[in-house]
Amino acid sequence: MKSIFRILFTVIPLVILTNRSADAQNELDVIRNNWLEYSDAANSLYHHLTLQAFSLLKERENRISVFNTLMDWQNRQNHIRETLADIVGSFPEKTPLNARIGITGRSGGGTQSAYIAAMDDRIYAAAPENYITNYTRVIPYLLFKPAKPDNRFMIYLLPSGKAAEASSGGEIEGFVNKGITVLAPDLIGTGETGTGALRGDAYFEGVSHNLWYASMLIGRSIAGIHAGDVVRLVRLLKKNNNEAEITGFARREMTPVLLHSAAFEPDIENIILSEPYSSYKTIVMNRFYEPHFILSAVPGALKEYDLPDLAGSLAPRRLFISGTTDGNGSLTDSTGIDADLSVIKNAFHIRKADNELMILPRQSEDKSLDQLMEWINKK
């Protein structure tokens, strides 16, 4: 019984990603020329739903395969920006943010533990009347300052939150030692804002798919909420230093969050994607995809755009991609990965921004940091 539920909760998001309102008129039409279309009844639902998903994916592929000119991609960029707000969910207006410093520590440079108010009455003024207008959601973060800071800043996003690389000798310290001020937040659902004991019936490998379904019921996406919070943090940095050069760094399932943030916020000048999955399409194409990836997927996205389209629309800004995987977090579907990366390469080439794009396989930690710093410092 448990395996049946796993299959159902695995396949349902495939169609939701491609079509939020799947056509049910022919759902019982399983007979073709007096033969049953599917002989294995246990998998008939899976085959039916994936057939719909693949059909929608083919439609999108046909649309983008004919892009060969700068105007084609500029029109695509405009289309993505116009439709993102509707698909991702409502997006915050620009409002002042005042960080409240909690504690400080570490000699030399310093580490600040702080949080910012993510929402206030001005944002809720345009919200439905049944919202609780005096509720404040906070974004905890750590701010790591080098001993001799310059105007380089980094928003550092990890699936496990701010503490994962915050200890001495961690990756954050490597960036700080190179003179970069690093802001590492706990976006909602990560770190100290994690889901706790929440489980439910659709709970796989530590991930509650019910959270994803619930986000659809309220007309928001988790990726959109996270992206909005990242934009708030970027504006906080710019508020305190208008000349700040901001780099966004994200790993694994946080990479779609950074891509959406960068699409909304042009002040993110450099975008670093470490071990990203190549596309939403690759989740659909993997029957048993990596469960942790689903929370960063935007319901209905594939009818309008996919992650390679979003990454390509960032040109001519600078983009660094390292260690791309498929929807199962592996390199098994190398053909699909290459096809997704080719969309990005084509977009940057047409925008005459080939030098602003670097795509590498996964590197060792030491080598990766050196390559990242060389890329960040290159102008």
pLDDT digits (tens, 9 = 90+) for 113-166: 444 444 333 222 223 333 333 345 678 888 888 888 889 999 999 998 888 888
Task: Please report the pLDDT score of residue 60 as a whole number.
Answer: 75
Higher pLDDT residue, 25 or 214?
214
Both structure tokens of 122: 């001005």
- Tell me the DSSP string of 133-202: TT---EEEEEEEE-SS--SEEEEEE-TT-TTTT-STTSHHHHHHHTT-EEEEE--TBSGGGB-TT---SS
Distance of CA 21 to the CA centre of its chain: 23
d(C-alpha 307, C-alpha 159), whole Å: 18
Domains annotated for the chain, with CATH where assigned, are 2-66 (no CATH), 85-377 (3.40.50.1820)
Task: Please report the pLDDT score of residue 131 as a whole number.
Answer: 30
Chain segment 261-320, per-residue pLDDT in tens: 999 899 999 999 999 999 998 988 887 889 899 889 988 888 788 999 999 999 999 999
Distance of CA 13 to the CA centre of its chain: 16
* H/E element, 272: strand 268-274
d(C-alpha 246, C-alpha 237), whole Å: 8
Task: Please report the pLDDT score of residue 316 as a whole number.
Answer: 93
Model confidence at 361, pLDDT cuts 50, 70, 90, reads confident
Nearest by Cα to 295 from 230, 196, 197, 227: 227
Model confidence at 181, pLDDT cuts 50, 70, 90, reads very high
* H/E element, 318: strand 318-322
